Amino acid sequence: MVERKRPPFFYGYVIVAVAFLLMLIMWGAYYSFGIFFEPLLAQFGWTKAMTSGAFSLSFFLTGTLGVLAGRLTDRFGPRVVMTVCGFFLGLGYILVSQTTTVWQLYFFYGIVVALGMAASVAPLQSTVARWFVRRRSVMTGIIISGIGMGMVIVPPIAHQLISHYGWRLSYIMVGSIALILMMLSAQFLRRDPGQKGQQPYGEGEVGVETRMNPSDRGFSLRGALRTWQFWIMVMALLCFTMGEGTVLVHIVSHAIGLGISADNAALIIPIIGLVSIPGRILTGITGDKIGNKNAYLIGFVFIDVSLFMLLISRELWMLYLFAVIYGFGYGGLSALISPIVVELFGLGSHGVIMGTVVMFGGTGGMAIGPLLAGHIFDITGSYQSAFLLYAIIGVIGLILVSRLKPVPIHSAW
């Protein structure tokens, strides 16, 4: 085989760096909802189910619109998609600051913010998948670790801003910064290496292959929908995200209810985010070594152990330990969704297929989980039943992933 000369600088690393930054901004601001949760309750006296419902609606639409964002990325590239979504995301947070009634919270956060978050999964991960053949899982893990870094940086800043300026001005600051940084950063994105006169990293190298499905042409969305592997991915992701949404929206409120100070409780989400960073990267490396399915199983074990542990956590150190275990598993599972979709269904329609998986699985779980947990709390005065339910559902997810097998090539039509 003739060795291809690599360019002096591979632009794919710029793509990874920009995608990392965009993930940090988008998800850091989004997961700060748990920090704004108690101030909203105190301001308006709404129930927890009513307030968390805005987040559930937002995530539902995020996943639904994510399919469209994935398809638009496949067609027009990520630069246009991310620019438009960056505008809507920043605008949404600025509008949330003007909320006076619950319908406004649902419209501004549930709809406008969701228009911005539609580009938060499929467009960036699909773009990175096109730039890298070798080290695809690792690079996906790196960009996804931007979510964890965002959780480390933005919620503590939001907490301090709220303490000094109140939640309204804090949302204006968050929205303005997100709008400017996202629209500027998006200009560096390119859909694929061909736009820079380069080849995907590792393409054509000996020993570089996908473990499940060797066809990079892959499936159409229609073909993927007809496979049971697609629906296993959807159901497993649903099992994961029901608990994820509940933890990220309600864990701070739960800790405060246990008598822990707001300052200490606010650190739980950053700890989850911090630990998720090595979780994403190490799990990506593990996926490249032992296969993404096996690494995905390991991530589910961490999630399940942590959720059962949460049932007996009453003191601050126990909640911090929960955050460490959960954060590692949460980061690992998030990093492997895109590589597994590539291995199962190829790259041809990766953006829209992944967007659809996230719509049915991620959206469903993140929408149902926090809303149901808030409703359970409103009825029982405790989160215990909700945590037990999601721990059991997590075990079901582990079993589902264990049944995942390669898709026959002749099914790709």
- The pLDDT value given to residue 212: 46
Asked whether residue 118 carries a pLDDT value surpassing 60, the answer given is yes
Asked if the model's pLDDT at residue 105 lies above 60, the reply is yes
Whole-angstrom Cα Rg for the chain? 20
66 vs 381, which has greater pLDDT?
A: 381
Is 1 exposed, middle or buried, given 0-12, 13-18 or 19+ CB atoms closer than 10 A? exposed
3-state helix/strand/coil string of the chain: CCCCCCCCCCCHHHHHHHHHHHHHHHHHHHCCHHHHHHHHHHHHCCCHHHHHHHHHHHHHHHHHHHHHHHHHHHHHCHHHHHHHHHHHHHHHHHHHCCCCCHHHHHHHHHHHHHHHHCCCCHHHHHHHHHHECCCHHHHHHHHHHHHHHHHHHHHHHHHHHHHHHHHHHHHHHHHHHHHHHHHHHHHHCCCCHHHHCCCCECCCCCCCCCCCCCCCCCCCHHHHHCCHHHHHHHHHHHHHHHHHHHHHHHHHHHHHHCCCCHHHHCCHHHHHHHHHHHHHHHHHHHHHHHCHHHHHHHHHHHHHHHHHHHCCCCCHHHHHHHHHHHHHHHHHHHHHHHHHHHHHHCCCCHHHHHHHHHHHHHHHHHHHHHHHHHHHHHHHCCCHHHHHHHHHHHHHHHHHHHCCCCCCHHHCC
Query: In angstroms, rounded to a whole number, what is the distance separating the alpha carbons of residues 71 and 91?
Result: 23
Tokens at 367, concatenated = 């929408």
Predicted confidence (pLDDT) at residue 200 exceeds the cutoff of 50: yes
What would the mean pLDDT of 240-265 be, rounded to a whole number?
A: 89
Residue 28: exposed, middle, or buried by beta-carbon count in 10 A (0-12, 13-18, 19+)?
buried
- The per-residue pLDDT of the chain, averaged, comes to 85
- Phi, psi dihedrals of residue 132, rounded to the nearest 5°: -130, 130
The pLDDT of residue 49 is above 90: no
- Please determine, for residue 16, whether its predicted confidence score (pLDDT) is greater than 50: yes
Largest CA-CA distance found in the chain, in angstroms, rounded: 69
Would you say residue 214 has pLDDT above 50?
no
pLDDT digits (tens, 9 = 90+) for 53-92: 898 889 888 878 877 887 888 788 889 999 999 999 999 9
pLDDT at 242 over 70: yes
Q: pLDDT at position 204, please?
A: 61
Say what percent of the chain tops pLDDT 70: 92
Q: pTM of this prediction? A: 0.73
* Euclidean distance between CA atoms 171 and 79, whole angstroms: 26
Average pLDDT on 396-409 reads: 83
pLDDT at 52: 85
179 — pLDDT class (breaks 50, 70, 90): very high
What domains does the chain contain, in order, with CATH numbers? Answer: 12-411 (1.20.1250.20)
- pLDDT, residue 205, reads 57
Mean pLDDT of 219-248: 88
Residues of 106-129 as b/e, b for ≥16 C-beta within 10 angstroms?
bbbbbbbbbbbbbbbbbbbbbbbb
Residue 403 binned pLDDT confidence (cut-offs 50, 70, 90): confident
pLDDT of residue 215: 44
| Lowest pLDDT segment from 57-71, 86-100, 320-334 | 57-71
Q: What is the pLDDT of residue 5?
A: 53
Residue 296 has pLDDT above 80, yes or no: yes
Give the pLDDT mean for 247-276.
Answer: 89
